[in-house]
Structure 1
Amino acid sequence: MATKSIKNIFLSASIPLPNRDAKYIDTADIIAIRDAVIALTTVVLPYHRIIWGGHPSITPLIYYVMEKLDLNIQEHVKLYQSLWFEERFPEDNNKFENIVFTERQSDIPSSIKLMRERMFSENEFSAAVFIGGMNGIEDEYRMFIEYHPNVLLIPVASTGAATKIVYDTLVPENLKNPRFEKDYGYMSLFQKFIMDKI
């Protein structure tokens, strides 16, 4: 284990669903999304903390890596979940000790908004990583930079879907990097752009 202090990395990721907006599924690279999440978790978790808003397509991947690493690193993960989705929580939730449940609001959008507000206001972040996803990734990108305007941003555009849209339309030119668009060697990408910088 590294001796330097544990930093928080925000992860915004999901695997687009075929029955949702075609603009996400058309460019989504499902294998790249899974590979990127697994690589990020493998590189970051032994030393730092990943915080995410418990998407059911991502939580099992993070648990898979935790099991594979065989480290007692429960303090290196923090999962936020809105109680609006209580009946649909993935089983893998039960394997995490650090879950923050946020109150159910009058509808889904306001329930998710509250969860994100708490996630972004209750934690300091050193980096944010965006992978694949749907409209939630676009919403989280916009909200994250409001709360944390000077934090290192890694939009992995090669995973396609909403992250590619964010990269093409919202990320300032000076923060773009050809490796985010074309590099599928995610372990070395995260080592260079996160671990070597924070």
Structure 2
Amino acid sequence: MATKILKNIFLSASIPLPDRHPKYIETADIIAIRDSVIALTTVILPHHRIIWGGHPSITPLIYYVMEKLDMNIQEHVKLYQSLWFKDIFPADNNKFENIVFTKKEDSIPASIKLLREKMFSENEFSAAVFIGGMDGIEDEYRMFKEYHPEALLLPIASTGAATKLVYENLFPQNLKNKRLEKDYGYMSLFQKFLMDKI
């Protein structure tokens, strides 16, 4: 029997923090952010691999779904973490086998930039999904497109925050779809817009 090829899906997501720019908080739909991350993970993990830069608001959600699926799918997840944040890693990090640690640079921006460069250069991606978030979402959208210009891009605008801004200002007009803006049935959304296309 042929081995199934796991395709890599990049996840760029976070729940905006109240002390950051109001433009992210004022449109953020925290329930939608959580629901969409859980739905994405549920739809993708049995078949493909999710790779993300471990944001503490997202990593526990992914682990929650892994537990619920009750499958041996450690090879279906890959987490990148910068050693800059070593002292505040979420406890859920310890539950993942595939963690890539990137070195601590002179500043937070330089450390995060190195993490993203490694993540995007070391992996081939079929698609990227953007959910909620802050300025990092905008940075990752631009950077991902440079490294993987042929990959499918899926900004879930209904989750608000930075992803809504990416959708409105950076996402090509001809790819916009009302379902990305208004549809909260995320399981069927990811099946149609992601699984059926990769």
Amino acid at match of 1:123: N
When the two chains are superposed, the root-mean-square deviation of aligned CA atoms in Å is: 1.0
Q: How many residues align?
A: 197
Name the aligned partner's letter for residue 129 of structure 2: V
Normalised TM-score (structure 1): 0.98
Query: Normalising to structure 2: TM-score of the pair?
Result: 0.98
The residue type paired with residue 90 of structure 1 is P
Output aligned runs, 1:187-198, within 5 Å: 187-198=187-198
**Cα displacement (A) at 1:3:** 6.1
Percent identity between the aligned chains? 82
Q: 1:20 offset after TM fit, Å?
A: 1.1
- The structural deviation recorded for 1:4 is 3.7
Q: Deviations over 1:87-132 (max 9, x none)?
A: 0100000000000000000000000000000000000001100000
Match in the other structure for 2:171: 171
| Mapped partners of 2:46, 2:126: distance in 1 | 16
* Cα deviation code 1:13-60 (max 9, x no counterpart): 000011111100000000000000000000000000000000000000
Instruction: Give the whole-Å Cα distance in 1 for the aligned partners of 2:4 and 2:10.
Output: 19
Q: Which aligned runs of 4 or more in structure 1 are off by greater than 6 angstroms?
A: none
Distance 1:169 1:115 in 2: 25
**Whole-angstrom distance in 1 between the partners of 2:194 and 2:163:** 18
C-alpha displacement at 1:150, in angstroms?
1.1
Partners of 1:18 and 1:103 lie apart in 2 by 28
Q: Which runs of 5+ in 1 are unaligned?
A: none
SS of corresponding position for 1:16: coil
After superposition, what is the alpha-carbon deviation per residue over 1:142-197, rounded to whole angstroms, capped at 9, x for unaligned? 10000001110110000000000000001111121111001100000000111111
Uncovered stretches (5+) of structure 2, i.e. residues with no partner: none
Kindly provide the amino acid, as one letter, of the partner of residue 94 in structure 1: N
